[in-house]
Structure 1
């Protein structure tokens, strides 16, 4: 039977020759139509609504229904004495068929995305996109997105042209793991049957064992998906373990489809409700926040309901027609949409992202979206017609027209009965498929090799701006001292600035998200008697560039106590990019006593941060107990006002990407949206006299804007961290303020 899924459109009848025809379910064109409906929902919701439709969950459920059903039939049939053990467990033929169905269209679209990346995207995005191309090609894109979704140093993948391919990776992983498990299970049963345990060859026994095993795995997966929503939903959304229950739910129905007779009125009612749920759930379920948890049962169970409603040919008693809903899904138009669903899914998202990037827009209009869907459908049809179908044909097809059996020969009737005549078109297609296969293989090699070479180039690129001429690159002095600014290109370049990091990032003196250790680094003058403890997260870390130089000049030592995304706070469950980050609280509980025990002469840390949902900045209440602990130990706190986190009305600004694509003015941030009229730290010094406010806002912002480039130096090296080059330009003002607070600095 055909695998009626998003990722495949194989031949109508792919049952092994030994499988009796009456044991194979009849081909369901209504499920082709359901795929067509699902891909339309996915495309429309992506293009116009920016929401998750539930269409992918429909695809996953259908995939499990057909794939598990096919494997179950193989397990049952392989117990025939005529089937050898090697034939039972050999995955080669199935893996080859799976590769022919999945890879050609995928490789073709990855080649187009690679070309589009080079032509449309700035160089600053080539590395991240190249990593996603390779991850998609080797079916781990979901894990790549999952791990990067919580990596604060990674560019956001929200506008990646490959983000949608996470579901292809989930399906590919599911197919391979399920296939290998099923073949191993079939082989084990065969060995036991040959050893004398004949009862295991009973199809009913096999179905019961498989049903219970899949039910158990699906239950664990469902529990995992529900539990992980509160732990890390960003990761959970892409997690194969969390998603496995959806295709397995389809597999359970394939193993045991209810066959009792039910009136078509009830079947129609069930199908109508299920169809309505699938069409509307994208509006009333926030899928990004709720899937693949319990709310994903809505599209999954609705899909199972439509499969069951249309299975009238399997119910006991006289045959009846399918319900009207299933008949509607079986129309020629819906079936045709289903036939191109895989290619359409591949095409619609990158076309949307490239178009929006080219036009510098965040949303497509009704007309633009309609054109994008039309172009996507056309490209999907061309892909199916000229790439998928030719390469999906079995290599073993013989060209009978060139070698016809002689009239009256004993093999004539055999060929007539068992071999479809091969047209001249099919004969030419054998050569055509070879050419296309070669082009795709070469393209995949060039594509991956090119991105790997670029990744190597960027990884080994060095940034040395320590000797910039201050008359040409005044940086912060342009705002602080009205220094003249010549017309030259900014430094570092947008591509180089992403490597312009503080020394602690290269020296391992900052703990990452999963590292609970305290990695103390020593900077400035290591022999000095005075010590400043630089403590907190990355927004404290970025000041080490200036403090290291000042320490060497003024003979004080800097010891670093740093952890990614972890300001000094007593918050019990802090969050990083919306994800609970309990390791931060544990680290703070450990590091503050250690700092106090080390007896520094001052602590340098952030005293403010931007407000999350309104303009301006503030001193969070959970910072104050930390300041009090240092005060009780007699340690002054140099409280640095946090910097602007670049953003505009459309969301976060990644400064290097923005500068690569736009004029510098388009990459600035409104000062009023980032900062309160006065430094909020000033409001706490009365009750916390050990806090000594520092504020360098005047070196980064004018009266109304916080530019992306100040004094010919790019201010940020990513979405909200200052470049080391710009920090160096702030040294004179930082020194002035520190010495006013602590003269020995």
Structure 2
């Protein structure tokens, strides 16, 4: 190739506004965004929109760099870029992951540790957002014991995915420009404009139909990154007059600060409402450095904000685990003004330590003035000099491999350990309930001893504590269409033996563990029609059409089948008061069944709470009285169904209140067994131990079971 040809190829494709150099106002914008995130999380328990600006800024800086490279015929070097990006991101994140996992082991409820390990793994490998999405996590719920201290890694995972995807899209743009001689900006507009429109459309639709999932869905956030690219293009093509840029800067900052106050982020993000913080951030970046004493960039470029901006990445990483672990440790629903300020102060200090002693050393020391001009690094605006090596590949490769080994290794060990522990505890819960070591409700009758030789059961995943029948219903084909999916059965006797049907919601379902030993002992049979959240009643007033259909079809099938007994819930307790009532329509429901010659086992509801009793009991193992409450605050003074039971000879009442609330106090731990698995469901292990009491009550009323 001739010298003239080489020179022609090096010549930029077009002349654009200068994009090089340190952008202090963008650094200040990043600092403002992270401070908003931290303050909204700590003091208000809300989402501020600051994370959306992080995504925007990351794409903006990345896009400026790639557009400039394509324009100047420079190679994109995708593999080298990916290695350097993750070399910058992984060490600090890894330190936070390990320290958070270690602290979680000592502070979080033991039953949550398996989930903590899974979250740490997902965070390390940059898929935490999808892990949360498919776990149906509610980002806005306020119960700290149910939140994961790794929850904030969703945005970092999404960024990691974008840092991998975006260079590929720019490689497509480069191909269009260099091979097919397309216009640079036109090609970029076609590629990223398409991403913007498609993703925003999906975001709006998905947010309206599945908002909790959409919040963590990368596809619903791509448009925010695409907006950063489009803004980068705009900044290279256009510069507004100074007066307009001053106005733009102030409007952008005010919009960003007010977004979390004004917008219903709990129900509207990341759909079209997320345009508010995105447009606000865009205005600030397009305003740039106004060089005016009236511009908001003077504030953004102030020394305190620039100092915070240097450690913005680390500050984002540490603030959330500190907040969640603090609230769990102190059993507080949220932080106050004083302790919240202390959390923020500690977070800022830890962030500086991580920046100074983890980020900077792994980049080769403090940053020089000349190195500040490279603004392409995600989160941190100051890439530092390399280690003492002339090979640019060595440092990132070693760092990434070391992080995966030194962080992933302990996480893998912890995952194996917790899996083995949970398996052993689930087996112990299955076989130990009702034994001398774990007497459960029997301890009330026997006089509960002060100490037991074993820790309480269950001590693992509470989901394993939901009982269920094991076989598909044998005559499902003859049932009303759709009912078969709610039906299960187990048989311990011939077809002629008595059949008991358990029907209703999850509170009827938990009675399976109590009635199963009875059916096994007398060699009778059981069948269940269960739909969570759906009482069994003739009243078809549920907002969920599936529930109304279930109620109608279950009644139709039970009347056709005519079992010997139907076990069902007849009262409903309230989480925050003692306003226990009969389930609407229950008198008519019971009358229909007894008129058909079916015995009704009328189960009184158990006390319900506003907080998770299982977590509370684990966190306060030495004083479970903190989690207890007088029965007078949880249930009505007398069983609301008592008159119904007394007036109908076909109704047999089961009231287990004295075994949930011995001596008038409802407590989460009885007979070395946790009574609850959440705020309102009885554990399978404990329900099994009240089986003799259920049988005793039924026999006393003349129902021989």
TM-score over 0.5 for the pair: yes
Q: 2:506 aligns with which of 510, 517, 538?
A: 538
Alpha-carbon distance, 1:298 to partner:
2.4
Deviation at 1:509, TM superposition (A): 6.8
The CA distance in 2 between the partners of 1:137 and 1:256, in whole Å, is 35
Judge conservation of contact 1:114–1:133 (CA < 8 Å) in 2. Answer: yes
For 1:418-567, what aligned pairs fall within 5 Å after superposition? 440-461=403-424, 462-463=427-428, 474-479=439-444, 481=445, 483-489=446-452, 493-494=456-457, 496=459, 498=461, 501=464, 504-505=467-468, 507=470, 517-567=485-535
| 1:659–1:667 CA contact under 8 A, matched in 2 | no
Q: Answer whether contact 2:614 2:674 (CA < 8 A) is retained.
A: no
Indicate how the Cα distance of structure 1 residues 69 and 639 shifts in structure 2: closer, same or farther if over 3 A, else same.
farther
Once structures 1 and 2 are overlaid, which stretch shifts more, 601-610 or 682-691? 682-691
Deviation of 1:518 (Å): 3.2
Aligned equivalents of 1:170, 1:622: Cα separation in 2: 49
CA distance in 2, matches of 1:120, 1:572: 45
Q: Which residue pairs with 2:353 in the alignment?
A: 382
CA contact (8 A) 1:221 1:243 kept: no
Q: Does 1:114 align with 2:101?
A: yes
- Counterpart residue number, 1:681: 641
* CA positional deviation for 1:526: 4.9
Measured at CA, do residues 391 and 291 of structure 1 come closer, stay the same or move farther in structure 2, by a change above 3 Å? same
Tell me, in whole angstroms, the C-alpha distance in 2 between the residues paired with 1:680 and 1:304: 60
Once residues 185 and 692 of structure 1 are traced to their aligned partners in structure 2, the CA distance between those partners, rounded to angstroms, is 75
**Structure 2 residue 214 is matched with structure 1 residue 236:** yes
Cα deviations by residue, 1:485-535 (Å, 9 ceiling, x for unpaired): 21223866255365695684594779xxx9982342214535552111112
Q: 1:340 to 1:589 in 2, by over 3 A?
A: farther
Instruction: State whether residues 500 and 566 of structure 2, in contact with CA within 8 Å, keep that contact through their aligned partners in structure 1.
Output: yes
Match of 1:168 in 2: 156
Instruction: Describe the SS at the equivalent of 1:238.
Output: coil
**How far, CA to CA, are the matches of 1:626 and 1:71 in structure 2?**
69
User: Which residue, 683, 687, 692 being the options, matches 1:732?
Assistant: 692
Q: Following the alignment from structure 1 to structure 2, what is the Cα–Cα distance between the partners of residues 422 and 169?
A: 26
Matched with 2:223 is: 245
2:604 equivalent to 1:641: yes
Residues 325, 574 of structure 1: alpha-carbon distance in 2 compared, 3 angstrom cutoff: farther
Contact 2:577 2:635 in 1 (8 A): no
Q: Give the Cα–Cα distance (whole angstroms) in 1 for the partners of residues 463 and 36 of structure 2.
A: 43
> In 2, are the aligned partners of 1:602 and 1:636 still within 8 Å (CA)?
yes
Tell me by how many angstroms 1:213 deviates.
0.8
Q: Deviations over 1:659-712 (max 9, x none)?
A: 565512122234234312222334666999966542211221145421112244
Which of 66, 70, 84 is matched with 1:97 structurally?
84
SS in 1 for 2:30: helix
Distance 1:473 1:715 in 2: 12
Could you tell me how far 1:126 is from its partner in structure 2?
Answer: 1.6
Note the C-alpha offset of 1:652: 3.1
Q: Does 1:179 align with 2:167?
A: yes
Deviation larger for 680-689 or 269-278: 680-689
Q: Determine if contact 2:466/2:683 at 8 Å carries over to the other structure.
A: no
| Alpha-carbon distance in structure 1 between the residues aligned to 2:676 and 2:321 | 28
- Using the size of structure 2 for normalisation, the TM-score is 0.81
The alpha-carbon distance between structure 1 residues 387 and 467, as it changes in their structure 2 partners (threshold 3 A), is closer
Equivalent position of 2:362 in the other structure? 391
**Cα distance 1:476–1:207, how it changes in 2: closer, same or farther (>3 A)?**
closer
Following superposition, the deviation at residue 102 of structure 1 comes to 1.8
Verify the 8 A CA contact 2:498 2:524 in the aligned structure 1.
yes
Counterpart for residue 13 of structure 1 = none
Per the alignment, residue 669 of structure 2 pairs with 709
Partner residue, 1:53: 48
Q: Is the 8 A contact 2:488 2:527 kept in 1?
A: yes
Structure 1 position 277, deviation (Å):
2.6
The 8 Å contact of residues 38 and 316 in structure 2, kept in 1 or not, is answered as: yes
Alpha carbons 2:433, 2:686 under 8 Å: kept:
no
**Alignment of 1:215 onto 2:196:** yes
The 1:336–1:489 alpha-carbon spacing in structure 2 relative to 1, beyond 3 Å, is same
Give the Å deviation of 1:36: 0.6
User: Cα distance 1:104–1:516, how it changes in 2: closer, same or farther (>3 A)?
Assistant: farther
Is 1:224–2:205 an aligned residue pair? yes
TM-score, normalised via structure 1 length: 0.77
1:44 counterpart = 2:39:
yes
Any stretches of 5+ residues in structure 2 without a counterpart?
1-9, 366-382, 474-481
The CA RMSD measured in Å over matched residues stands at 4.1
- Answer whether contact 2:17 2:237 (CA < 8 A) is retained: no
1:375-405 C-alpha deviation (Å, 9 max, x unpaired): 22222122222322343469xxxxxxxxxxx
Pair 1:72–1:689, CA change in 2 (3 A): farther
> For each residue in 1:234-285, what CA deviation from the matched residue of structure 2 results, as whole angstroms up to 9, or x when unmatched?
3333232333333333333223349666443443333323322322333343
SS of structure 1 residue aligned to 2:486: coil
Distance 2:539 2:67 in 1: 52
**Structure 1 residues not aligned, in runs of 5+:** 1-15, 313-319, 395-419, 576-580
Cα distance 1:453–1:184, how it changes in 2: closer, same or farther (>3 A)? same
Structure 2 counterpart of 1:316: none
- The CA deviation at 1:167 is 1.6
Query: 1:17, 1:566 → 2: CA distance?
Result: 71
Aligned residues: 664
